[in-house]
Amino acid sequence: MRRITLFLLLFALVLAGCGGSSGDVTVPEPPSAKAFEKSNNEQINKIIEGWQAQVPTTLTQNQIKQETIEQKVYESTASLQEVADFYTQQISSANGWTEVRNMPGLQNNLFLKAYDHGNISLVVGALDAKQFGGTGTVIYTAKGSK
């Protein structure tokens, strides 16, 4: 769990949007997803609570305005690979997004990426809930602007 928290904090630390944002910055919902409701699995709940508490704090330390931060949590029946592929395709340079370098991507049942679009920053974290005794994939996004 510490590794997941550390990776998400790393996400937020490397976000560096600058300038204005032009174009559509809508982040589509992940495939086969619905809003996450509290799990029966306490480990998964603690990870999500950690993301929700730590990522916005780190984003604001990196000049993202607190009042602009939108956090969303989803659960999906799609595999972690499908979720990773979705974000790679949907949040791409073709849509005006720039991938933040040195992010781990898909590793060890965890997907971690960050993207910039002008002054908009997006953090995406997803995990395979099976590794914690759950089912499906849990996805967290945080988007905000400077």
Whether 56 shows a pLDDT value over 90: the answer reads yes
The confidence band for 8, taking pLDDT boundaries of 50, 70 and 90, is low
User: Is residue 24 in some structural domain?
Assistant: no
Give dist(CA 84, CA 132) in Å, integer: 19
Q: C-alpha 6: how far from its chain's center?
A: 13
Q: What are the residues facing 54 on neighbouring strands?
A: none
Structural domain containing residue 120: 2-17+29-145
Average pLDDT over every residue of 81-97: 86
Q: How does DSSP classify residue 108?
A: T
Between 22 and 114, the higher pLDDT residue: 114
- Domain of 116: which CATH number? 3.30.310
User: Is residue 54 in some structural domain?
Assistant: yes
Cβ pair 140, 125 in contact under 8 A: yes
Average pLDDT over every residue of 106-121: 91
What is the pTM assigned to this prediction? Answer: 0.82
Q: Which of 30, 2, 12 is nearest to 69 (CA)?
A: 12
**The residue to which tokens 């704090």 are assigned:** 57
Integer-rounded Cα radius of gyration of the chain:
14
